[in-house]
Structure 1
Amino acid sequence: MITFQEIIVYLLLGVALAFLWKKFFGKKGKDKNCGNNGCGCN
């Protein structure tokens, strides 16, 4: 039987893996810096 703590652990593991997948394999957006200060005005 799965306990409440195991459910929480598996959910957090899934969230962490999804974050890492998005960070390393997600689409690369273009840089929105305009000039040296990185104001993002474009």
Structure 2
Amino acid sequence: MNTIIQNILVFTAMILAVAFLVKKYFIKKPNAKKACGGDDGCGCH
């Protein structure tokens, strides 16, 4: 019974780790283009 629980926990941890890496490196968010003319605090004016 303990080996079944261990296997479930190991596979769950592995799936979570792979999902995290896929989300971090392969799913890119589009960069928001900010106009630097307003009061957005970018420090370029």
* TM over 0.5, shorter chain: yes
Q: How many residues align?
A: 36
Structure 2 residue identity aligned to 1:28:
K
Q: In the TM superposition, what whole-angstrom CA distance separates every residue of 1:1-42 from its partner, at most 9, and x where no partner exists?
A: 861011000000000000000100012232588415xxxxxx
Q: After the TM superposition, list the runs of 4 or more consecutive aligned residues in structure 1 that deviate by more than 6 angstroms.
A: none
Gaps of 5+ in 1: 37-42
TM-score (norm 1): 0.62
Gaps of 5+ in 2: 35-39
CA RMSD, 1 decimal? 2.5
Calculate percent identity across the aligned residue pairs: 39
When Rg is computed on C-alpha atoms for both structures, the one with the higher figure is 2
Instruction: Name the structure 2 match of 1:39.
Output: none
